[in-house]
């Protein structure tokens, strides 16, 4: 893990030569939410290829670059394109960018994703603020030797998602008349979608939505002491008694259509951050 520390420093150096500002917030944009990037006052933009040790995105809908700039007056870093376990990346590769954001100065992580809704009160296109998660990916980015410079051996996860940020996000959504729920996100590796039996099981164990990302990044954020806000866009409903085949194009379309809501919530949360 000692070599991980060095990799982080090399990536940090590459970013700093292009942008010498300390970001407050890191944002990870999930599937179909790349359009959000237009909102940012971009001061520097780096393709992942230009950053040492950053993996490359391979999934449709993920651009593959790091945007550095400001949003609502807050200096931020935004990842346009993220990495998934199902692409064959290791948990450490997926989460390196979070560690780089932390090393550059960010103390808050806003992470978004597309997910399948299982709570029958949810609807396609709704937003869910993540209150808690269940890790069923069979993977953990912290396995290995622990480098105490990065975080503790046994991080506590009883409040991985910051209560105040959750309240703030829900408040912003309410004011803007956006339907936003709060609930539990369960992460699986994918890439196949789930069977009806699996949806019943996931619901039974207490999850509201299911997705194939986010949890590795949140575990690392908790490890290195960042506050986390997680926002899920429900791109398709997965009700086991009325399950229809899901299609990537439809999922992307729903995600794109829901993007203005995400934009409003993140902007509102950042605006309050600037005034906090």
Partner 1 sequence: MPSAASVRVSESAASIRQVWPTTPKIGLILGTGLSQAADRMKVEQSLPFQRIAHFASATALSHAGRVVCGELAGIKTIAMAGRCHLYEGYSYDQVTLPVRVMRALGAEILIVSNASGGLNPGYRGGDIMVMTDHLNFMFGVHRPAGLFSRSAPPSEKCPADTRCAEDPDRPDAWMAPTNSDVRCGWCYDSELIDVSLAIARRDGFRAHRGAYVAVTGPNYETRAEYRMFRRIGGDAVGMSTVPEVLTAASLGMRVLGLSMVTNVALPDSPEKVDPQDVVEWAARAEPHLCRIVEGVAGHLMPDSGKLRLRPS
Question: Which residues in this chain contact partner 1 in the complex, by CB under 8 A?
Answer: 3, 88-90, 92-93, 132-135, 137-140, 142-146, 152-160, 184, 189, 204-207, 219, 222-223
Distance separating alpha carbons of residues 69 and 77, to the nearest angstrom: 7
- Least distance from C-beta 98 to partner 1, angstroms? 14
Report the DSSP beta bridge partners of residue 49.
Answer: none
- Least distance from C-beta 48 to partner 1, angstroms? 16
Please spell the DSSP secondary structure of 188-224, one letter per residue. Answer: ---SSPPPHHHHHHHHHTT-SEEESSSHHHHHHHHHT
- Least distance from C-beta 228 to partner 1, angstroms? 12
Nearer of residues 90 and 250 to partner 1, judged by Cβ: 90
Nearer of residues 28 and 187 to partner 1, judged by Cβ: 187
Distance separating alpha carbons of residues 185 and 137, to the nearest angstrom: 12
Nearer of residues 19 and 89 to partner 1, judged by Cβ: 89
Element (H, E) at 169: helix 163-175
Pick from 201, 212, 203: which is nearest to 183 by CA?
Answer: 203
- Least distance from C-beta 92 to partner 1, angstroms? 6
- Least distance from C-beta 53 to partner 1, angstroms? 10
Nearer of residues 35 and 190 to partner 1, judged by Cβ: 190
Report the DSSP beta bridge partners of residue 247.
Answer: none
Nearer of residues 69 and 183 to partner 1, judged by Cβ: 183
CA 237 to chain centre: 20
């Amino acid at each position: 893990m000692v070599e991980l520390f060095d990799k982080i420093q090399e990536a940090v150096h590459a970013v700093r030569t292009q942008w010498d500002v300390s970001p407050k917030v890191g944002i990870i944009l999930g599937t179909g939410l790349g359009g959000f990037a237009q909102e940012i006052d971009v001061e520097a933009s780096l393709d992942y290829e230009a950053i040492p040790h950053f993996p490359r995105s391979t999934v449709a809908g993920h651009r593959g670059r790091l945007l550095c700039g400001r949003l609502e007056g807050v200096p931020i870093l935004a990842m346009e394109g993220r990495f998934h376990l199902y692409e064959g990346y290791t948990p450490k590769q997926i989460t390196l960018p979070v560690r780089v954001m932390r090393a550059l100065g960010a103390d808050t992580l806003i992470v978004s994703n597309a997910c399948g809704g299982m709570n029958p009160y949810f609807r396609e296109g709704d937003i869910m603020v993540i209150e808690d998660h269940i890790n069923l990916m069979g993977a953990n980015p912290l396995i290995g030797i622990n480098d105490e410079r990065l975080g503790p051996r046994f991080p506590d996860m009883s409040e991985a998602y910051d209560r105040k940020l959750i309240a703030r996000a829900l408040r912003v959504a309410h004011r803007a008349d956006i339907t936003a729920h709060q609930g539990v996100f369960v992460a699986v590796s994918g890439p196949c979608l789930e069977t009806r039996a699996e949806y019943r099981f996931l619901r039974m164990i207490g999850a509201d939505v299911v997705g194939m990302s986010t949890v590795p990044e949140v575990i690392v954020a908790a490890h290195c002491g960042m506050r986390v806000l997680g926002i899920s866009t429900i791109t398709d409903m997965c009700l086991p008694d009325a399950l229809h085949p899901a299609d990537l194009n439809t999922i992307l379309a729903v995600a794109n259509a829901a993007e203005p809501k995400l934009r409003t919530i993140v902007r509102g949360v950042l605006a309050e951050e600037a005034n906090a």
